[in-house]
Amino acid sequence: MSKKPKTIDEYLEQSAISENGKLISPITETHCHLDMLKEINLDELRAKLDSIGLSRLITIATSNKNFDRVREIQSRYEKTYFTLGTHPHEAKGFGPADLDYIREVAKTDPTHLVAVGEIGLDYYYDFSPRETQINVFKQY
C-alpha cells in the first residue's frame, strides 16, 4: 500500500528548520547580493548560514561596478558561487568589455561562475532607457 502524498497545505505547515535548528534538507540560496550588505559582517553571516546547514549560496553581480567585489566575496567562502551580468537598471553603464570579462571568467573559473545574470528587461522603473536595455539584452 502506497503512502498518500502530502497536500500543499501540509508542506506549507512543515517547518524547514528542525528542532535542533538545522535545515531539514539541503537548501541553495540562489539569489542574494552579499556585496550590498554594508552593515552586516559577512563572516558572521556565512558562519550562521553554515551552522544551520545552508548547502550553497549564489551571490549576484548587477553591473561591471561590482564584478570584482562579487568574485572577491565568493573567494572568501566555501560553497559560495557567483553570477556576472548587467541588471536592466544598469544597462546604461554597459560596455563591450563587460562581455569580454564575463567570457574570460567563464573560461578561467567555470566552477564558481554558475550563471550569467542579472540580465533582462525592466520597464517598471526605467532607470535605463528601454532601447538601451533591449540592446544590452540582445548582446548577452
Under 8 Å between Cβ of 62 and 86: yes
Q: What local confidence, expressed as pLDDT, does residue 2 receive?
A: 67
Of all residues in the chain, the percent with pLDDT exceeding 70 is: 96
Q: What local confidence, expressed as pLDDT, does residue 7 receive?
A: 76
pLDDT of residue 67 exceeding 90, the answer is yes
Q: Which fold has domain 27-139?
A: TIM Barrel (3.20.20)
Is the peptide bond between 118 and the residue preceding it cis, with omega within 30 degrees of 0?
yes
Please state the domain extents for the chain: 27-139
Can you spell out the DSSP letters for 102-132? Answer: HHHHHHH-TTTEEEE-S-S--TTT-SS-HHH
Task: Note the pLDDT tens digit of each residue in 23-66.
Answer: 888 889 999 999 999 999 999 999 999 888 898 999 999 999 99
Contacts for 75 with CB less than 8 Å, ≥ 6 apart? 112
pTM: 0.84
Where residue 11 falls among pLDDT bands split at 50, 70, 90?
low
Contacts for 116 with CB less than 8 Å, ≥ 6 apart? 83, 84, 85, 102, 106, 140
Q: What local confidence, expressed as pLDDT, does residue 98 receive?
A: 98
